C-alpha cells in the first residue's frame, strides 16, 4: 500500500512538474512578447532571440499569441519560429504580410526572412505579389528574392527596369540587388557612381565591385590555362567519350540522324542517367519545368472551364466546370463545338482547338455549339476567366454522416477542407468520411494541416530524412491543435492513394483517430526536390532526396530492386480490407458498344425531359431497381445485349447522374449505392453513432450485406 502511495505521489509530482514547465514557458513567452509591443524602445530582435532560446516547446504558445499581435511583433515571433524550424508556418505568415497593406520596412524585413527559408515553392506566390506591388523598394526586394529561389526571368526583368527610372536612390537599390544576385554587368555604371558615396549603399557597391574584379581576375587565369599547348590537356579532352561517340554515330548513320539536335540527344542521355536512380526522379528541360509549374502546381488557370474530348470525330464537351464561365453561358455536357471565333474545328487536332479557345483573362471567345435536339447550331459567347479546379467534393449523407472526397493536396486544400467541414458541421454532422481513393498526393504541408484538424495537441505526424547533410536532414512535422470535434471518422484508401494521402491515413491510423477502410495504399513515401542546374538555365533535376516516415518510424515507401521491381510492399495497410466489385472485361466492351450506339443517350432523350423529377430521384438512389425507370424492360430488350438488366441499369444511372449534375450545376460527390468501400465506411460509422443502418431507407438496400 505504501509503495502504491509512493508511486501515486511520484506521478502527481511529475504531472505538476509538467504543468509548471508549461506555465513557465507561457509566462516567458508573454514576457518577451511584451518587450516587442511596448511603446518606447521595443526590443523586437532581442525578444525574438529569447523566444528561440525557449526551445520547440514554445512554438505552439507563440502561434496562439501570434494573431493578436501588431505586425512588428509578428515579425519578431516569425523570426523565432524560423529558428525553431517552423518553416512552413512562418513562410505562409510572411506571405500574408507581403500581400496585406503594411509599411515598406515591414515588407522589406518580411522579404529578408523569406530569403532565409529560400523555398522554390514560393515562386508562384512571389510573382503574383511582385505584379501587384507598387512600392519600388518593396518590389526590388521581392524581385531579388524571387530570382534567388527560382531564377524566374520576370524577376530580373523587373530589377533591370528600375535602372532606367529618374530617381537615383531607386536606381541604386536595384543596382545593388542585381549585383547581389550575380547580374552585376548591367548595373556597373550605377555601382561605380554609387561607390563614391560615404553611405552603407556606397560601401556595398564597393564590395560588389571588388568581388566582381576578383571573379574577372580568376577567370582570366583559367582562360590562360586553357590556351596552353594541347599536349598538356590531351587526356582531358573528353570526360565521357562514349556519349559523344554515340551522338556522332546517330547523326551519321541513323536514317533520320540529321533531324536530331545534339541538345535533344544529350537530354535523352540525361533522362536515362536519372531514370536509373528511381522512378520518381527525372530531368526536366526548361519547357517541361514551366509546364509543370503551370499545370501541376497551379490550381487555377485562365480558360472557359470545360473538360473536353473527342466523340464521333467531333470536339466534345465531356463536362463543364460547374463554377466556370462556360456553364454559366449555357454550355453543357456532350455539346459539340463546331467553330471557335469562326474557325472550323473539323479535322483539327485537340491541341490546336484548345489553343484557339484559350486566351487572356477578361477576353471572350465565340463558340458555335450544337446540341442534340437543336434544329441548328447556336453561337454562344463565353468569357475567359480564372478557373479554379475543385480539389474536393463534399456531401451530407443520410444519418448525418459527412463525406469529403479530396482529389489532390493542392495549395488551397487546407482552406477548402476547413470550409467543407464547417458547412457539414452546420448541418449537424455526427460522423465523418474522408475519401482519399485515387488521390496521388500533393503538398506535404497541406497533408500536415489536414491531419492537424483531427489530431489534438502537439504530436509528431510525419518526418522526412535522407542522406544529404542539408537537403536530407531530418525534419519533423507536428500537429498543433485540432480545430474540429472528435467525431467518429473513417478514411477510405485504395491502391492509387499515394504520398500525402498515405501520410494522412497513416498518421490518423497511428493515433487511432480514424478507421482505415479499403486497400493497401500505393507505397510512395519519397521526397522529390527540383534542383536548378548551373549548366542548363531553366532546367531542373527532380531528385529523390529523402523518405517520409510515420510517427512510429515506419516508412511507407516500397522497397525496390535495381530494376525498379517491388521486393517489399509498404504503404498503409487498412484496418478493414474491402475491394471493389469485380467487373468482367467483356462488360467494358459491351458498355463501350452501347455507348457508341448512343443507346443511353437516346433513352434519356426520349424519357428525361418529361420525367425530370423522377430521374433526379433515381440519380440520387434508384434502390437498384430497374423497374423504376420508365419503359426500361422494352428498352433493354431492344438493346439485344448479353448484359443483365442490372448491368444496363447501372450504366444508365451513370449517364443519368451526368445529366442531373448539369441540371443542378453541381457534381455528385459519391455514390453510396454502388460503392462497397463507402458502404462499409457508412456501416462502421452507423455502429459508432448508434443508429441502425437497416432503418435508413437509403441504406437498407446494402446494410444486410455488411451485417453478416
pLDDT in tens, 206-244: 877 777 666 665 555 554 444 444 444 344 444 667 877
Q: What is the CATH number of domain 392-577?
A: 3.90.226.10
The residue-averaged pLDDT of 585-593 equals 81
The residue-averaged pLDDT of 586-592 equals 82
Residue 120 pLDDT grade (very low, low, confident, very high; cuts 50, 70, 90): low
Q: How far apart, in whole angstroms, are the C-alpha atoms of residue 564 and residue 163?
A: 52
The residue-averaged pLDDT of 371-395 equals 86
What are the CA-CA distances from residue 338 to residues 385, 494, 498, 657 (Å)? Answer: 22, 40, 40, 26
pLDDT in tens, 316-335: 887 788 778 888 888 888 88
The pTM assigned to this predicted structure is 0.60
User: Would you tell me which CATH number, out of the four given (3.30.70, 2.60.40, 1.25.10, 3.30.420), belongs to the domain 26-217?
Assistant: 1.25.10
pLDDT in tens, 127-157: 888 888 888 888 898 888 888 777 777 788 8
Q: Coil, helix or strand for 615?
A: helix
What is the SS3 assignment for 517-544? Answer: EECCCCCCCEEEEEEECCCCCCCEEEEE
Question: How much is the pLDDT for 243?
Answer: 78
The dihedral over CA atoms of 138, 204, 534, 288, expressed in degrees to the nearest 10, equals 10
Q: Where are the domains of the chain?
A: 26-217, 250-277, 300-388, 392-577, 585-673
pLDDT in tens, 594-630: 988 999 999 999 999 999 999 999 999 999 999 999 9
| Backbone phi and psi for residue 347, each to the nearest 5 degrees, phi listed first | 60, 20
Q: Which cell goes with 165?
A: 527610372
Q: Quick check: 197 pLDDT over 50? A: yes
pLDDT in tens, 670-698: 999 999 999 999 999 999 999 999 999 89
Q: How far apart, in whole angstroms, are the C-alpha atoms of residue 575 and residue 118?
A: 40
The residue-averaged pLDDT of 343-351 equals 84
The residue-averaged pLDDT of 191-199 equals 78
Q: How far apart, in whole angstroms, are the C-alpha atoms of residue 375 and residue 381?
A: 19
Q: Quick check: 703 pLDDT over 50? A: yes
The class level of CATH for 300-388 reads mainly beta
The residue-averaged pLDDT of 396-406 equals 96
Amino acid at each position: 500500500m505504501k509503495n502504491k502511495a509512493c508511486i501515486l505521489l511520484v506521478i502527481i509530482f511529475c504531472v505538476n512538474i509538467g504543468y509548471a514547465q508549461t506555465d513557465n514557458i507561457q509566462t516567458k513567452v508573454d514576457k518577451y512578447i511584451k518587450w516587442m509591443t511596448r511603446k518606447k524602445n521595443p526590443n523586437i530582435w532581442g525578444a525574438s532571440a529569447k523566444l528561440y532560446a525557449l526551445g520547440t516547446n514554445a512554438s505552439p504558445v507563440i502561434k496562439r499569441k501570434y494573431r493578436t499581435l501588431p505586425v512588428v511583433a509578428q515579425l519578431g515571433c516569425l523570426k523565432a519560429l524560423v529558428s525553431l524550424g517552423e518553416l512552413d508556418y512562418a513562410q505562409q505568415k510572411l506571405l500574408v504580410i507581403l500581400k496585406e497593406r503594411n509599411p515598406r520596412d515591414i515588407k522589406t524585413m518580411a522579404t529578408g526572412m523569406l530569403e532565409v527559408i529560400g523555398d522554390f515553392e514560393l515562386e508562384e506566390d512571389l510573382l503574383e505579389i511582385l505584379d501587384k506591388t507598387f512600392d519600388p523598394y518593396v518590389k526590388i526586394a521581392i524581385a531579388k528574392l524571387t530570382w534567388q529561389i527560382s531564377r524566374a526571368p520576370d524577376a530580373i526583368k523587373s530589377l533591370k527596369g528600375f535602372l532606367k527610372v529618374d530617381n537615383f536612390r531607386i536606381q541604386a537599390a536595384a543596382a545593388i540587388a542585381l549585383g547581389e544576385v550575380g547580374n552585376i554587368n548591367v548595373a556597373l555604371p550605377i555601382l561605380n557612381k554609387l561607390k563614391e558615396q560615404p553611405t552603407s549603399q556606397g560601401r556595398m557597391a564597393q564590395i560588389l565591385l571588388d568581388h566582381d574584379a576578383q571573379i574577372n581576375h580568376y577567370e582570366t587565369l583559367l582562360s590562360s590555362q586553357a590556351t596552353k599547348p594541347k599536349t598538356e590537356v590531351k587526356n582531358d579532352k573528353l570526360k565521357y567519350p562514349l556519349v559523344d561517340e554515340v551522338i556522332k554515330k546517330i547523326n551519321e548513320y541513323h536514317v533520320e540522324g540529321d533531324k536530331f539536335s545534339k541538345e535533344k540527344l544529350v537530354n535523352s542521355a540525361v533522362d536515362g542517367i536519372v531514370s536509373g536512380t528511381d522512378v520518381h526522379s527525372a530531368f526536366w528541360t526548361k519547357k517541361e519545368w514551366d509546364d509543370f509549374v503551370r499545370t501541376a502546381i497551379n490550381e487555377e488557370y485562365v480558360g472557359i472551364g470545360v473538360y473536353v474530348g473527342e466523340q464521333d470525330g467531333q470536339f466534345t464537351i465531356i463536362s463543364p466546370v460547374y463554377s466556370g464561365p462556360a456553364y454559366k453561358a449555357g454550355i453543357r455536357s456532350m455539346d459539340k463545338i463546331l467553330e471557335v471565333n469562326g474557325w472550323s474545328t473539323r479535322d483539327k487536332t485537340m491541341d490546336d482547338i484548345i489553343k484557339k479557345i484559350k486566351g487572356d483573362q477578361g477576353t471572350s471567345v465565340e463558340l458555335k455549339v450544337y446540341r442534340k435536339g437543336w434544329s441548328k447550331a447556336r453561337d454562344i459567347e463565353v468569357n475567359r476567366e480564372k478557373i479554379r479546379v475543385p480539389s474536393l467534393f463534399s456531401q451530407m449523407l443520410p444519418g448525418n454522416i459527412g463525406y469529403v472526397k479530396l482529389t489532390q493536396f493542392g495549395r488551397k486544400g487546407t482552406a477548402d477542407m476547413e470550409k467543407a467541414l464547417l458547412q457539414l458541421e452546420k448541418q449537424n454532422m455526427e460522423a465523418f468520411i474522408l475519401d482519399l481513393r485515387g488521390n496521388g498526393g500533393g503538398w506535404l504541408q497541406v497533408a500536415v494541416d489536414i491531419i492537424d484538424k483531427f489530431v489534438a495537441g502537439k504530436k509528431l505526424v510525419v518526418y522526412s530524412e535522407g542522406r544529404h547533410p542539408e537537403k536530407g536532414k531530418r525534419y519533423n512535422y507536428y500537429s498543433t491543435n485540432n480545430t474540429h470535434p472528435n467525431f467518429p471518422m473513417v478514411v477510405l484508401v485504395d491502391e492509387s492513394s499515394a504520398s500525402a494521402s498515405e501520410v494522412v491515413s497513416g498518421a490518423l491510423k497511428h493515433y487511432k483517430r480514424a478507421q482505415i477502410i479499403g486497400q493497401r495504399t500505393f507505397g510512395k513515401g519519397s521526397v522529390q526536390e527540383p534542383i536548378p542546374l548551373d549548366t542548363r538555365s531553366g532546367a531542373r533535376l527532380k531528385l529523390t532526396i529523402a523518405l517520409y516516415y510515420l510517427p512510429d518510424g515506419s516508412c511507407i515507401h516500397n522497397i525496390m530492386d535495381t530494376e525498379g521491381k517491388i521486393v517489399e510492399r509498404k504503404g498503409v495497410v487498412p484496418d478493414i480490407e474491402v475491394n471493389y466489385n469485380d467487373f468482367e472485361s467483356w462488360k467494358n466492351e459491351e458498355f463501350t458498344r452501347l455507348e457508341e450506339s448512343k443507346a443511353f443517350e437516346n433513352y434519356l432523350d426520349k424519357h428525361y425531359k418529361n420525367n425530370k423529377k423522377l430521374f433526379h430521384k433515381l440519380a440520387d438512389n434508384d434502390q437498384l431497381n430497374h423497374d423504376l425507370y420508365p419503359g426500361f424492360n422494352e428498352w433493354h430488350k431492344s438493346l439485344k445485349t448479353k448484359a443483365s438488366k442490372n448491368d444496363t441499369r447501372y450504366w444508365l444511372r451513370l449517364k443519368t447522374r451526368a445529366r442531373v449534375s448539369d441540371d443542378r450545376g453541381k457534381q455528385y460527390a459519391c455514390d453510396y449505392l454502388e460503392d462497397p468501400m463507402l458502404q462499409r465506411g457508412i456501416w462502421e460509422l452507423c455502429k459508432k453513432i448508434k443508429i441502425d443502418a437497416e432503418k435508413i431507407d437509403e441504406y437498407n438496400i446494402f446494410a444486410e450485406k455488411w451485417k453478416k
